[in-house]
C-alpha cells in the first residue's frame, strides 16, 4: 500500500514537472567536457531543456549578431536533428530561449571573452564584442547533451550555472602547409570549421615552398602556371586563384579567424626559381622539385629584380588580406650566406611595412634587425628567441618538440615525420609557453601555433588524423591559464570529445593514453 502511494506521487510529479526540465541525473556544469577549459565555471545543478521549440534570440538590428545566432542554430540543428529558429529579440525573451547579446556583458571581457548564464528557463550569452559571442557559442555547442531522463527523442539539455571566460593569449593558431601537398578550398574550409570549434583564431597558410607556389600573383603569372604544377611525389599540385584565396579569407572571417599568409624566403623558393630564371643568380631556372629535402634553394639576394618580385608579391597578397600579419618565412636558409641573409630580411621587413602589415618570420629572422612590432615564430632555436626579445620583438611559440602536429604520435604512426620527436597527445599538451624557454616570459609571447607540415599528408583525412586529438590541447594551451591545466583532468574532457569527432566525421587517432568513452 505504501509502495502504491509512493508510485502515485511519483507519477503525479512526473506529469506536473516536464521531464526535460528536471533531469533524473543531476547535471553539473563543472563536469562538462568543455575544451578549452573556461576560466571560471559554477554549477547550479539544474538544466535548460533544448528541443525544437527552443528559439535563439539575438540583439535586434545587427546583421553580424544575427549571423552568429544562425550559425549556432544551424550547428545545433545539424548535430541534434532539431529545428531551432532564430529571431531578433523585441522584448525580454521568455522561457525556452537562448539569448545572444552585446549588452550586460560586464567589463574586461576583451575582444573574445564572454559570460554564459544557464538557468532552467534561459541560456544567456553576453559579450562585449561579436567575436566573444562567436567563441561563446562554441561553448554552448559543446554543452548540449542528450536528456537521458526524457523518453522523447529530440530532447537535449544544457547543465545550468555560470561561465565567465576569456583567452590567455591573443594569438591561437594552426599552420597548414599547402605547398608540399596542395589542399583545395573545400578542405581548408573544413579545417577552419574544426579550428572554430576549439576557439582558435588564426590560420597561417604556408603558401610557397620548394615544391609548389600556391597563390596566383597577377604580375608574375608563371609562379602558379609552372611553379604550382606539381607537389611532393610528383602529383599535379594546384593553387588558389586570388578569388579563391579571398573566399578562404572571407570564410575564415565568418568564423572569427584571421588568415596569415606566408611566402617563405629567401630559402624554400625552388618553385619560384623554377618559374622565373631571372630570380636566380646564374640566370638559369632549376627543374621543379618534388622531393622532401630542405635548405638547398635561395632567391638571389644581390639582384634588384628580387626585391621588385617580393614587392609585387607582398603588395598583391596584402591587398587581399585584412589581417595584420604577413609571414616572410626565413627558415632554413642554408643556401644563403648569413651576411646576405641579414640585409635581405631587413629589406623585406621594410617592404612588408610599406604595405601596412606586420612581419612574422621563423625564429631565424632574429639574426636580422627586427622591427619592434615584428614577431619571431620559435620552432627550434632558444638563442634566436632571446635575440628577438632583446630587440623588443614578440614571440609566437611553436616549439617543434611539442607543437608540431606533423610529428608522429609514436613509432607505429603511419603518417608524419619524427625528426623533432614522437609527440603523443599528452606530450603535446604538457607544456607552458611562458616557461618553455628560460628568459622568455609571458609578456614576450603573443600566443601559440601548431604547424602542420604536409610532406607525408596527401588528403583531408590525413590532416584530421594528425590534428585530432592534439589540436584541442594546443587550443587549450593558448586559451586557458596554465594554473587551470593538468593532463589527468584534461584527458577526461578530451575523452568526451570522441563524440564530437564522430559527429563531425573526423578521422582521429584513438590514443591509448585517453580513456575514450564508448559511443552511445
Q: Which residues bind ligand TNX (CB under 6 A)?
A: 294, 331-332, 362, 379, 404, 406, 417, 453, 455
CB of 212 to ligand TNX, least distance (A): 13
CB of 370 to ligand TNX, least distance (A): 17
Catalytic residue among 332, 382, 464, 502: 332
Nearer to ligand TNX, 362 or 508 (CB): 362
Nearer to ligand TNX, 27 or 269 (CB): 269
Q: Rounded CA gap, 201 and 206, in Å?
A: 17
Secondary structure of residue 128 in the 3-state scheme: coil
Nearer to ligand TNX, 80 or 448 (CB): 448
If we measure between CA atoms, which residue out of 306, 321, 392, 391 comes closest to residue 355?
Answer: 321
Nearer to ligand TNX, 49 or 352 (CB): 352
Please tell me the chain's helix, strand, coil percentages from 3-state DSSP, rounded to the nearest 5.
40, 20, 45
CB of 28 to ligand TNX, least distance (A): 41
Establish whether 332 is a catalytic residue. yes
CB of 404 to ligand TNX, least distance (A): 6
C-alpha cell at 231: 607537389
If we measure between CA atoms, which residue out of 323, 213, 315 comes closest to residue 272?
Answer: 213
CB proximity list for 144: less than 8 A, separation 6 or greater: 50, 76, 79, 80, 156, 157, 158
If we measure between CA atoms, which residue out of 354, 376, 378, 355 comes closest to residue 365?
Answer: 376
Please give the torsion angle defined by the CA atoms of residues 449, 453, 457 and 462, in that order, rounded to the nearest 10 degrees.
Answer: -10
Nearer to ligand TNX, 59 or 455 (CB): 455
Regarding beta strands 212-213 and 208-209, do their DSSP bridges make them parallel or antiparallel, or are they unpaired?
A: antiparallel
CB proximity list for 91: less than 8 A, separation 6 or greater: none
Nearer to ligand TNX, 198 or 404 (CB): 404
Secondary structure of residue 326 in the 3-state scheme: strand
- Report whether 191 contacts 463 (CB < 8 A): yes
CB of 313 to ligand TNX, least distance (A): 19
CB of 292 to ligand TNX, least distance (A): 8
Burial class of residue 510, CB neighbours in 10 A (0-12, 13-18, 19+): exposed
Residues acting as catalytic residues: 332
Amino acid at each position: 500500500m505504501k509502495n502504491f502511494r509512493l508510485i502515485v506521487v511519483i507519477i503525479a510529479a512526473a506529469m506536473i514537472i516536464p521531464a526535460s526540465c528536471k533531469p533524473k541525473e543531476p547535471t553539473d556544469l563543472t563536469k562538462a567536457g568543455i575544451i578549452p577549459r573556461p576560466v571560471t565555471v559554477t554549477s547550479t545543478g539544474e538544466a535548460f531543456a533544448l528541443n525544437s521549440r527552443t528559439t535563439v534570440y539575438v540583439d535586434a538590428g545587427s546583421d553580424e549578431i544575427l549571423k552568429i545566432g544562425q550559425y549556432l542554430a544551424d550547428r545545433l540543428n545539424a548535430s541534434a536533428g532539431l529545428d531551432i529558429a532564430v529571431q531578433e529579440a523585441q522584448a525580454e525573451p521568455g522561457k525556452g530561449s537562448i539569448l545572444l547579446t552585446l549588452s550586460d556583458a560586464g567589463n574586461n571581457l576583451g575582444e573574445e571573452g564572454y559570460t554564459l548564464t544557464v538557468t532552467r528557463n534561459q541560456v544567456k550569452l553576453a559579450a562585449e564584442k561579436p567575436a566573444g559571442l562567436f567563441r561563446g557559442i562554441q561553448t554552448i555547442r559543446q554543452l548540449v547533451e542528450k536528456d537521458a531522463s526524457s523518453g522523447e527523442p529530440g530532447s537535449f539539455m544544457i547543465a545550468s550555472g555560470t561561465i565567465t571566460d576569456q583567452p590567455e593569449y591573443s594569438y591561437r593558431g594552426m599552420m597548414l602547409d599547402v605547398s608540399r601537398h596542395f589542399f583545395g578550398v573545400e578542405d581548408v574550409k573544413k579545417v577552419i570549421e574544426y579550428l572554430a570549434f576549439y576557439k582558435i583564431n588564426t590560420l597561417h597558410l604556408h603558401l610557397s615552398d620548394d615544391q609548389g607556389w600556391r597563390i596566383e600573383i597577377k604580375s608574375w603569372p608563371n609562379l602558379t602556371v609552372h611553379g604550382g604544377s606539381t607537389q611532393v611525389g610528383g602529383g599535379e599540385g594546384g593553387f588558389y586563384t586570388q578569388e579563391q584565396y579571398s573566399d578562404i579569407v572571407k570564410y575564415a572571417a565568418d568564423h572569427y579567424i584571421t588568415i596569415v599568409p606566408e611566402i617563405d624566403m629567401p630559402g624554400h623558393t625552388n618553385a619560384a626559381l623554377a618559374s622565373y630564371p631571372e630570380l636566380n643568380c646564374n640566370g638559369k631556372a632549376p627543374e621543379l622539385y618534388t622531393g622532401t629535402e630542405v635548405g638547398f634553394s635561395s632567391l638571389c639576394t644581390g639582384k634588384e629584380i628580387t626585391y621588385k618580385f617580393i614587392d609585387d608579391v607582398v603588395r598583391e597578397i596584402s591587398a587581399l588580406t585584412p589581417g595584420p600579419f604577413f609571414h616572410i618565412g626565413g627558415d632554413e636558409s642554408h643556401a644563403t650566406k648569413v651576411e646576405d641573409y641579414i640585409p635581405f630580411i631587413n629589406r623585406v621587413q621594410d617592404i612588408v611595412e610599406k604595405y601596412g602589415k606586420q612581419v612574422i618570420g621563423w625564429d631565424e629572422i632574429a639574426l636580422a634587425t627586427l622591427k619592434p612590432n615584428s614577431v619571431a615564430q620559435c620552432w627550434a632555436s632558444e638563442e634566436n628567441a632571446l635575440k628577438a626579445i632583446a630587440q623588443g620583438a614578440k614571440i609566437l611559440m611553436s616549439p617543434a618538440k611539442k607543437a608540431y602536429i606533423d610529428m608522429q604520435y609514436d613509432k607505429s604512426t603511419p603518417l608524419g615525420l619524427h625528426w623533432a620527436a614522437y609527440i603523443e597527445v599528452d606530450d603535446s599538451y604538457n607544456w607552458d609557453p611562458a616557461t618553455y624557454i628560460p628568459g622568455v616570459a609571458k609578456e614576450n609571447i603573443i600566443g601559440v601555433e601548431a604547424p602542420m607540415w604536409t610532406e607525408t599528408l596527401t588528403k583531408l583525412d590525413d590532416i584530421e588524423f594528425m590534428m585530432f586529438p592534439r589540436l584541442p590541447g594546443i587550443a587549450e594551451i593558448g586559451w586557458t591559464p596554465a594554473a587551470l591545466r593538468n593532463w589527468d583532468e584534461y584527458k577526461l574532457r578530451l575523452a568526451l570529445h570522441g563524440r564530437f569527432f564522430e559527429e563531425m566525421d573526423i578521422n582521429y587517432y584513438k590514443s591509448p593514453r585517453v580513456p575514450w568513452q564508448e559511443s552511445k
